[in-house]
Amino acid sequence: MRFGWAWFCPGQSSPFAREVEMNKLLALMCLGSGVTGCGYTDGGGGSRTLEVQARLEYRAHDNQTDIRIDVRKDGAVLDDANITITDGDTDKRFEIEQNNPGGEYRDDIDGYHRRVELRIESNSDELNAQLEGPGIHFVTAPANDTVVKRDDIGDSLEVEWETKDGMAAEEVDVRIHSTGYTKHITNWEDPGSADIPSGKIDEGDEETRVVRRNKVRLDGGTGSSSLEITYEARNSFLVQ
């Protein structure tokens, strides 16, 4: 989404920079109102008898979304609930089943589903909500399948990413595969770059993953009930 009135943001050197700042401002306005992804995201409602942790994790490299949903009532796992995820753009519905009694409800589906509606029903217990996830992004530096010289890194390596729609995500994780190091960015900052300490990067084959996340508190649930959508993009490179 692009906004023609981005010129209202003063003190920026380019129209694109002004637009990014305005999109961040809009995201902060959404955060202040308790709404992620203004217009679509809704904490929903329900019986307020279930504690739910629902995660949709998309991986761009294999075009797959992992769905993991934990449902509890009075502290115990709730078996045999009817759970559906509906794509808010296509109305395609996915029934999410429990693999084993006492376990999570799980599924793996093709593609990225940015807007989803969650619905859970079990006898008199029920919950519903909807969430708009982060936009598509790409890791732009280090570029994929390139060589990075250790001497060129200096004190830190700058990881950069570009968001297709310019909208900030609520949280960003920048991960280095070899060492397991993660830089966590919160509060809608989503700056498009992050400096990784050189000591957190090993020589040899390396991989960086940028994970952007939106989430919403489930008003129809109990405790810390939430629904989140993450989008992961990764690049591989060689450190010499």
- Max CA pair span of the chain: 63
Provide the pairing of β-strand 171-176 with 182-185: antiparallel
Phi and psi torsions of 16, nearest 5°: -65, -45
Ordered DSSP codes for 18-33 = HHHHHHHHHHHHHHHT
> How far apart are the C-alpha atoms of 43 and 172, rounded to whole Å?
21
Asked whether the bond before 142 is cis by omega within 30 degrees of 0, the reply is yes
pLDDT value of position 30: 52
> How far apart are the C-alpha atoms of 108 and 112, rounded to whole Å?
11
Copy the structure tokens of residue 232. 């992961």
Query: Residue 88 CB: number of other CB atoms within 10 A?
Result: 16
3-state secondary structure at position 12: coil
pLDDT value of position 38: 59
94 has which bridge partners? 85
What helix, strand, coil percent values describe the chain, rounded to 5? 10, 50, 40
Which regions in the chain score pLDDT beneath 50? 1-20, 22-24, 26-27, 31-36
Copy the structure tokens of residue 237. 């490179």
pLDDT value of position 147: 98
Contact 87, 115 (CB under 8 A): yes
How open is the CA angle 142-148-153, to the nearest 5 degrees? 90
Residues 6 or more apart in contact with residue 10 via CB below 8 angstroms: none
pLDDT tens across 47-95, in order?
999 999 999 999 999 999 999 999 999 999 999 999 999 999 999 999 9
Domains along the chain? 1-33 (no CATH), 42-133 (2.60.40.1940), 137-218+228-239 (2.60.40.10)
Residues 6 or more apart in contact with residue 82 via CB below 8 angstroms: 95, 120, 121, 122
Provide the pairing of β-strand 93-98 with 137-141: unpaired
Helix spans in the chain (H): 15-32, 150-153
